[in-house]
Amino acid sequence: MTKQIIQVDEKPPIQQAIPLSLQHLFAMFSASVLVPNLLGINPAVVLFMNGIGTLLYILITKRKAPAYLGSSFAFIAPTLLIMQTKGLGYAYALGGFVVTGALFCLIALVIKFFGTKWIDAILPPAAMGSVVALIGLELSGTAAKMGGLILTDTYTKIDPKQVTVFLITLCVAVFGSVLFRKFFAVIPILIAIIVGYFSAWAMGMIDFSKIAAAPVFAVPNFQLAKFNWDAISIILPATLVVVSEHIGHQIVTGKIIGHDIIKDPGLHRTMLGDGLSTMISGLFGSVPTTTYGENIGVMAMTGVYSVWVIAGAAVFSIIISFFGKVSAVIQYIPAPVMGGVSFLLYGMIAASGLRLMVDQKVDFSRSRNLAMASVVLVTGLSGAFIQIGHVKLTGMSLGAVVAMLLGLIFWIIDKFHAANDYNDEEPEEAVPAEK
């Protein structure tokens, strides 16, 4: 049975739009709330600003680029360094976020005037497909840890309950995407989360005391940014990570929806939307934003690309930021449940990278394509890293940098060969002038 596609500009009826929006909200919620929890700030302000940022992004991209903006993980390490080692408050990290957002806007301006042809030159299909695949493959280990399949400092032995809930959630998501019909076929992730939640509850894995302790109504505690050059210099290098992540996400999203977002509405618009969202978040006490892989995975799996659905998720995020108990119910979804759906969603993103190379007919009998894909994938998955100041480039971010360097080197080689081939041509014999 062919999957029913809901296009980017389609506006589903309200009775369908609400569960579709909740599906996007649930998919991103766990990861997005984890960032403020690690930084010790109130998640409510992050939910509010993520929703505002997403709506702003949709407006700037002229409703042509479906994406949910959630909390970026790239800034956790430098922020903790500012707060713990430098002895500065979180307000000074916020100043760094504002400058990062401004840098994003500056990059958008450069792209506006100089175009995006450089992307085709330094990121040919073999490199870009590998980078896109890395987005999902790099995150796959996180999903496995959430599912209890990998031992950590917290989980020192395999817990059968965790693994059972993980498998139940994963199976509902996988087989639901194949077997469900009609409207249920486009909300398998939401159904899987609900089934997984009740499975965890039946096994006594949910601590309802935390939900009971949450306030019914709570106003997000906004705070204003402060600026300090030391803090800014620590935060700024992380921008490179988010820029490479942003480009990869736009390309894979374009392949999923069948429309080149890099050209229309343009990479400059998506960059500007992300940058302004990060600036506003920094100004009012939230965290930097980025396009979310979880939501890209939901689109790939369900065929629902509507920006109206994603805007609905943003509105719900803003609303629940004022309702503590509703936020807590979602915030304390057991890790194995989110691990189960993430396991599939991250795999979808990785498969999209492979699909990109197939669609572009990448010829792996050519040594160049084989070498480029091999080096990029191994770089991203090997755990190798490069330290730039206080920021570590690793995984997909380092893989993207390596891909661009290889692409640039091969482009220079091509130009050199083309010039030599031209210069080596035999000059035509001069025709004697008539007397």
| SS3 of residue 393 by DSSP | strand
The answer to the question of residue 269 being in a domain is yes
Which residues constitute the domain of residue 103? 14-413
Task: Report the share of the chain in percent with pLDDT over 90.
Answer: 30
Whether 70 and 289 have beta carbons less than 8 Å apart is answered as yes
The answer to the question of residue 60 being in a domain is yes
Average pLDDT over residues 301-316: 93
The answer to the question of residue 434 being in a domain is no
Point out which residues pair with 385 in neighbouring strands: 394
For every residue of 346-390, DSSP letters joined together read HHHHHHHHHHHHHHTT--TTSHHHHHHHHHHHHHHHS--EEEETT
Question: 204-246, pLDDT tens digit by residue?
Answer: 888 788 788 888 887 888 889 999 888 888 888 778 778 877 8
- H or E segment at 394? strand 391-394
pLDDT for 3: 61
Average pLDDT over residues 24-50: 83
266 DSSP assignment: I
The answer to the question of residue 32 being in a domain is yes
The answer to the question of residue 186 being in a domain is yes
The answer to the question of residue 383 being in a domain is yes
Q: Which of 44-53, 193-202, 357-366, 426-435 has the lowest mean pLDDT?
A: 426-435
424 DSSP assignment: T
What is the band of 345 on the pLDDT scale with cuts at 50, 70, 90? Answer: confident
Token pair recorded at residue 244: 């490479």
Whether 19 and 196 have beta carbons less than 8 Å apart is answered as no
Average pLDDT over residues 362-374: 90
Q: Which residue has the higher pLDDT, 117 or 428?
A: 117
d(CA 186, CA 178): 10
Integer-rounded Cα Rg, in Å, for the chain is 23
pLDDT for 106: 94
The answer to the question of residue 426 being in a domain is no
What is the band of 85 on the pLDDT scale with cuts at 50, 70, 90? Answer: low
Mean residue pLDDT across the chain: 84
Residues in the chain: 435
d(CA 224, CA 65): 30
Token pair recorded at residue 344: 């599939």
Question: 161-211, pLDDT tens digit by residue?
Answer: 989 999 999 999 889 888 877 777 777 888 888 899 999 999 888 878 878
Q: Is the peptide bond before 215 cis (omega within 30 degrees of 0)?
A: no
> Is 265 a residue whose pLDDT tops 60?
yes
pLDDT for 178: 83
Label each residue of 16-83 as H, E or C: HHHHHHHHHHHHHHHHHHHHHHHHCCCHHHHHHHHHHHHHHHHHHCCCCCCCCEEECCCCHHHHHHHH
The answer to the question of residue 8 being in a domain is no
What is the band of 35 on the pLDDT scale with cuts at 50, 70, 90? Answer: confident
What is the band of 33 on the pLDDT scale with cuts at 50, 70, 90? Answer: confident
Token pair recorded at residue 230: 């030391």
Closest CA to 284 of 81, 96, 99, 91: 91
pLDDT for 430: 47
d(CA 283, CA 281): 6
pLDDT for 141: 83
d(CA 351, CA 129): 9
d(CA 71, CA 247): 17
The number of domains in the chain is 1
For every residue of 174-204, DSSP letters joined together read HHHHHH--GGGGG-HHHHHHHHHHHHHHHTT
Q: 40 — alpha (psi -120 to 50), left (phi > 0) or beta?
A: left
> Is 435 a residue whose pLDDT tops 50?
no
The top-scoring range by mean pLDDT among 142-146, 221-225, 426-430 is: 221-225
